[in-house]
Chain A
Amino acid sequence: MGLAGRYLEERGFSTVVLTPTHDFNRAVGIPRSAAIEYPYGRLLGQVGDREGQKNVLLAVLEVLRTAERPGEVRHLPFRWPEEPKETKWQPPEMSPLIKLFLEEIKKARRQEAGGERS
């Protein structure tokens, strides 16, 4: 999504990405990011929580309005009301990519736990 934001920004649109993983900014260089600690697929809020969704949307618009420099990341203060394991954001079936890289993914955790890469 960062690449899409860059593409549009280059063509004269002002953009803001509402992102659950602002760390991708290190790889891509995203013009404006509003970082939120919400589960994937529900970045505005819970189903039917119109007021909560609107508050997030207004906060994102505020990032668009006030960001001052390319690459700026603003951290939004909203808290998701469930623990990560309760959010059920993952697909019912493991994605084809995860199946393909499953051994590498497990290895990455072992390496991280072993301090091979921080």
Chain B
Amino acid sequence: MENQTKPVDGFRFLPPSLAAWIRALLPSHEYQGEIPWTPVEKPLSKLTFSLVTSAGVSLRSDPPFDMEREKREPTWGDRSYRVLPRGTTARDITVRHLHINTTYIEQDLNVILPLDLMEELEREGIIGRLAPSSYSFYGFQWESTEFLEQAIAPMSRRMKEEGVDAVLLTPA
């Protein structure tokens, strides 16, 4: 596929200054360390999936992600997470994110977290199952990995309980 398709320009939608800044922060060479790997050992039609987005999506019945502290401390990002059950739609959610326009997600959750489409693929037999829970955390984590223990660790425990095999992640 890589040879047949025009390479994606990862900076096309960024303003030129911001693109230059990010390019300067990134290494110029390929990643050198080890990369973890869990092989896919079953067909898609036998796999149980969960979805994770970093778009700062919460149920209206849960507290929204904290943007006020980030406004006071610009390098701090909320480290918590929220569960988004299957069946969640744009009507059920609040979106908080200071780095993107959240309007589109508030109109149609499928643009970043395709719960509804995964249920359709489940009905069509293309995937095995969408797990009861999917998740959001908040993607702005400047030079901090605390979110791994505070958000991703509890998600992964719940995924194990729900028999999840594979996870689709959509950053924001």
Known: A29-B34, A89-B100. A60 touches B168 (CB 8 A): yes
Q: Are B156 and A8 in contact (CB under 8 A)?
A: yes
Residues of B contacting A14 in the complex (Cβ-Cβ under 8 angstroms): 38-40, 47, 165-167
Secondary structure call for the A interface: mixed
Interface size class of B (residues with CB under 8 A): 35 or more
Q: How many A-B residue pairs have CB under 8 A?
A: 265
Q: Are A100 and B74 in contact (CB under 8 A)?
A: yes
Q: Are B38 and A97 in contact (CB under 8 A)?
A: no
Q: Are A50 and B110 in contact (CB under 8 A)?
A: yes
| Most-contacted residue by chain B among A8, A41, A74, A89 (CB, 10 A) | A41
Residues of B contacting A38 in the complex (Cβ-Cβ under 8 angstroms): 13
Excluding A40-B172, A105-B20, 13 further A-B contacts by CB distance (< 8 Å) are A15-B166, A16-B167, A23-B22, A40-B100, A41-B111, A44-B110, A58-B126, A61-B126, A69-B37, A71-B35, A74-B2, A84-B13, A97-B99
- What are 25 pairs between A and B in contact, CB < 8 Å? A1-B169, A4-B54, A13-B166, A15-B167, A15-B169, A18-B170, A19-B171, A20-B171, A27-B26, A27-B31, A40-B99, A41-B55, A41-B104, A54-B114, A57-B114, A60-B168, A75-B2, A76-B8, A89-B100, A90-B101, A91-B102, A95-B74, A99-B74, A100-B75, A108-B20
